[in-house]
Amino acid sequence: MLKIGVLASGRGSNFQAIIDAIENKNLKASIEILITDNPSAFAIERAKRHNIKHIFINPKEFATKDEFFKKVADELKSCGVELVILAGFMRIVRKPLVDEFPNRIMNIHPALLPSFPGLHGQKQALDYGVKISGCTVHFVDEGMDTGPVIIQAAVPVMPDDTEDTLSERILSFEHRIYPEAVRLFSEGRLVINGRTVKIKEQHGVPSNIVNPPFRQE
């Protein structure tokens, strides 16, 4: 069973989506620890409700960012974590963590990367006037939303959308594709070749679709 560690800074709705997938038996995994850099993060309440170990690591207690991420990596390793999930973690991951978990850190971004990386991807999409936005699960490297793309979902942009309405529409798809990406990893079906992530077939069914045919309900 895949052992997961989660990093979060805020409400942790994608953390909840993964919890739900595990509890609904759609994902064979266990969440070993939640680490936050914010003692007020609502993700902590979610961890308490589901009896998940949680700790706050204060970045201000470390002289450098690298030292902070070395501590994070040490805590994850001590729990036997095999895959690290970023769920609204508002820091760019640094080398000490990336080196300890190469190609074993995932993030989800509310845009179709490589378009609109960084903060407020939804607002960037609206300001640019695109007709299709979406979300992307990707492996994490030391850049800002620059790691290899695992899976994406396209979401229409409506003429009267605001940042809030578009964000909510995208979020509903985030909650679907993030657990799916973790499931594929847990089954050993993600193969990385440079920037390309291929999804191995299972039981003769092709699975190389990077934009699954999810429909809004």
Give me the chain's average pLDDT, please: 91
Name the active-site residue from 50, 54, 109, 138: 109
Please tell me the distance from the alpha carbon of residue 114 to that of residue 164, in angstroms, as a whole number.
Answer: 22
pTM listed for this prediction: 0.89
Q: Where in the chain is the domain with CATH 3.40.50.170?
A: 1-102, 107-217
CATH superfamily of 107-217: Formyl transferase, N-terminal domain (3.40.50.170)
CATH number at 1-102: 3.40.50.170
Mean pLDDT, residues 183-201 taken together: 91
pLDDT in tens, 10-68: 999 999 999 999 999 999 999 999 999 999 999 999 999 999 999 999 999 999 999 99
Residue 95 CB neighbours (<10 A)? 13
pLDDT in tens, 79-113: 999 999 999 999 999 999 999 999 999 999 999 99
- pLDDT value at position 34? 98
DSSP, residue by residue, 145-180 = S-SPEEEEEEEEPPTT--HHHHHHHHHHHHHHHHHH
DSSP, residue by residue, 51-77 = T--EEE--GGGSSSHHHHHHHHHHHHH
- pLDDT value at position 205? 43
* Annotation marks residue 109 as catalytic: yes
